[in-house]
Structure 1
Amino acid sequence: MYQQKDFVLTIEGLTVSFDGFKAVNDVSLYIEEQEIRVIIGPNGAGKTTVLDLICGRTKATEGSIKFKGKELTKLKEHEIVHAGVGRKFQNPSIYEDLTVFENLELSFPRGKKVWGALTFSRDQEVIDKVTEIAEMIFLQDKLDSPANLLSHGQKQWLEIGMLLIQDPELLMLDEPVAGMSVSERKQTAELLQRITKDRSVLVIEHDMHFVEEIADRVTVLHQGQVLSEGSMEKVQNDPKVIEVYLGH
């Protein structure tokens, strides 16, 4: 067993009940620095609920979620964001009528507080950071394009960029390659490999080819519980996983 300090995220005994139904039931997860962890499982397994619990959208009935040793279950959503946890939902939520540059600029951390937003100026620091992130998310040639002209995959990248510019230490992505073309999926895998140099990434995904490309470790959820965990190869060969998930 590792010592606590080695983990960016330590989840222990996490449970949430909705009217007596345990959507997540005694789940424990340990995520290391610079790790890409992928959670897979059939629909209704509790995958998205786990992300909701981590980011404070849903409150746990029991258990503990520690991010770098700090307990998150008592914090509000915005406090969890400030602690360094970023989350992208399934559908991209970007400002369609603004340019790529403006979308990224709006997410730059300085502009968050009302006073910061009022006094915000487009100085060199902002321009440099926006340019750096745009390059990372393959949109350096699209900085002046309105976001509504981007492809579905590019919108997904833009939203990831809007999170990256806030420099979270844990990035959570819910089905990041859903609806993407094959080449976009490949680039997204490359993008995730790039961004884990400075952070950990927790991904929910159904696309097994993509999971194989990116995952350091895979956790399989079934009926709100951890069914199996380990390398993709180990999980794929686990008879329990084959029975409830991969066999279908």
Structure 2
Amino acid sequence: MYQQKDFVLSVEGLTVSFDGFKAVNNVSFYIEEQEIRVIIGPNGAGKTTILDLICGKTKSTEGSIKFKGKELTKLREHEIVHAGVGRKFQNPSIYEDLTVFENLELSYPKGKKVWGALTFTRDQAVIDKVNEIAEMIFLKEMLQSKASLLSHGQKQWLEIGMLLIQDPELLMLDEPVAGMSVSERKQTAALLQKITQDRSVLVIEHDMHFVEEIADRVTVMHQGQVLSEGSMDHVQSDPKVIEVYLGH
């Protein structure tokens, strides 16, 4: 059996029922340090529900979610964030009226507690960190631009940056390249490869070319259950996956 301590995230027997319907049914998977795990599957397979369960937005009916050995199922959403799990939703939630710099600065962890927010000063450490993240997310030249002026892809990067500045050890991204141009998708793949040098990433995605570029391991879901798991080559050649997903 897997050693718990070896994994950043251990999901075991995870189930959630809504009025008797099991949206997620006895799902187990394990994410290692510095791994990019991608969950794929047809619409309604339970992919986004898995993220909702991990970040505490939805409570599981049964099963276990351990982050670095710590049980998450009993924690509130903000406690899960503080534990080191960050999540980006499908639609970018950024402050359109603020500059790129201000968006990143607002997410800087020092301002999280009320007292921290009241005493927050823009010191050199904050400025350095904002600059470092802005360079990483390809927005160094846009720091003084209003976020409303960014392209759709750049807004997605900004939101990833707002998570990165909080330094989570597990970053969860729901369809990060939806609506992006081909060149933006390539840059996003490069960005994810870079950020997994010191953290793990869990991605839900439909774009198979993008999945091929980034995934260390792929979990295929169907009707709330794990259908197949392994390398991209493995799941692409799995007859069950071809039948229910890739064949359509």
Q: Tell me the C-alpha RMSD between the 2 structures.
A: 0.4
What residue number does 2:8 align with? 8
What residue number does 1:75 align with? 75
Letter in 1 for 2:239: P
Does 1:198 find its partner at 2:198?
A: yes
CA offset digits 1:84-118 (Å, max 9, x no partner): 00000000000000000000000000001111111
What residue number does 1:155 align with? 155
Distance in 2, matches of 1:4 and 1:246, equals: 33
Distance in 1, matches of 2:18 and 2:2, equals: 33
Distance in 2, matches of 1:204 and 1:166, equals: 21
Letter in 2 for 1:71: E
Distance in 2, matches of 1:112 and 1:96, equals: 20
What residue number does 1:189 align with? 189
Identity within the alignment, % = 90
Letter in 2 for 1:213: E
Alignment of 1:117-128 (within 5 A): 117-128=117-128
CA offset digits 1:55-97 (Å, max 9, x no partner): 0000000000000000000000000000000000000000000
CA offset digits 1:208-242 (Å, max 9, x no partner): 00000000000000000000000000000000000
Alignment of 1:232-243 (within 5 A): 232-243=232-243
The 3-state SS of whatever aligns with 2:24 is: strand
Distance in 1, matches of 2:123 and 2:2, equals: 44
Alignment of 1:201-220 (within 5 A): 201-220=201-220
TM-score scaled to structure 1, two decimals? Answer: 1.00
TM-score scaled to structure 2, two decimals? Answer: 1.00
The 3-state SS of whatever aligns with 1:23 is: strand
What residue number does 1:137 align with? 137
CA offset digits 1:135-179 (Å, max 9, x no partner): 000000000000000000000000000000000000000000000
Does 1:35 find its partner at 2:38?
A: no
What residue number does 2:57 align with? 57
What residue number does 2:48 align with? 48
Distance in 2, matches of 1:205 and 1:66, equals: 23
What residue number does 2:113 align with? 113
Letter in 2 for 1:208: M
Letter in 2 for 1:78: H
Distance in 2, matches of 1:77 and 1:244, equals: 33
The Cα shift of 1:2 comes to 3.5
Letter in 2 for 1:153: G
Distance in 1, matches of 2:118 and 2:64, equals: 38
Q: Which runs of 4+ in 1 moved over 2 A?
A: none
Distance in 2, matches of 1:140 and 1:216, equals: 29
Distance in 2, matches of 1:126 and 1:186, equals: 29
